[in-house]
Amino acid sequence: MTEAPKTKIISRTVEFEGWHKLETIVVQHASLRHDGHVDPIKREMYFCGTAVVTLLYQPETDQILLNEQFRIGAFMAGEPNPWLYECCAGMIDAGEEPEEAARREAVEETGCHILDLEFICKVYTSPGGTDEKYMLYCGRIDKAEAGHFGVAEEGEEIRTHLIPAAEAIHLLDTGKILNSGTIMCLQWFARNHDRLRKKWSQK
């Protein structure tokens, strides 16, 4: 006999489709209590896609490059300063590999070219209601300057900041970094700082 699927989609209704898509979905998933399925559950699902987030690091000077830009989500949540410090990030285009997207976004948002990449992890940002997924990396850059970047037709206005690694970690530890992908990247970087600087400074 064929094993019953662990999750069955009963219905899907598109409620809105714009920059992202919102659907109402009814599903039945396998129970953790017994061998059958739970009763149908209805959830609103926000489809955002997959983004790449890259912490840009210059080992020769031991500096990190962070973007500063306005975020409407922080603004609407009442954040007093919705201009957040963030890693370079962007959506992965159709047919594009995550590492290709990381390199493209670095040029668009910071003017920097990534020389080496190290994969950090894959993470679902809020799996209870969205499919949004981050592919996190740390990238080695050789030349960087603070300045203004971004793709104007996409509404991007980005100011970049070259920050000593120790200061960036201090911003993390004191709660000054509010973007989730950036927090995860910096936490990983703090644990791998010495190894990474030694590895990339030899190149």
Which residues are marked as active site? 154
DSSP, residue by residue, 19-76: SSEEEEEEEEEB-SSSSSBPPPEEEEEEE--EEEEEEEEETTTTEEEEEEEE-HHHHH
Spatial CB neighbours of 78, under 8 Å, sequence gap ≥ 6: none
Q: Identify the helix (H) or strand (E) that includes residue 199.
A: helix 180-201
Instruction: Fill in the DSSP letter of residue 80.
Output: S
Nearest C-alpha neighbor of 69 from the set 163, 186, 152: 152
Considering only CA atoms, give the Rg of the chain: 20
Q: What b-and-e string marks burial along 175-185, b requiring 16 or more CB atoms within 10 Å of the CB?
A: eebbbebbebb
| Residues facing residue 175 across a β-bridge | none
- Please answer whether residues 181 and 89 qualify as being in contact, where contact means their C-beta atoms are separated by less than 8 angstroms: yes
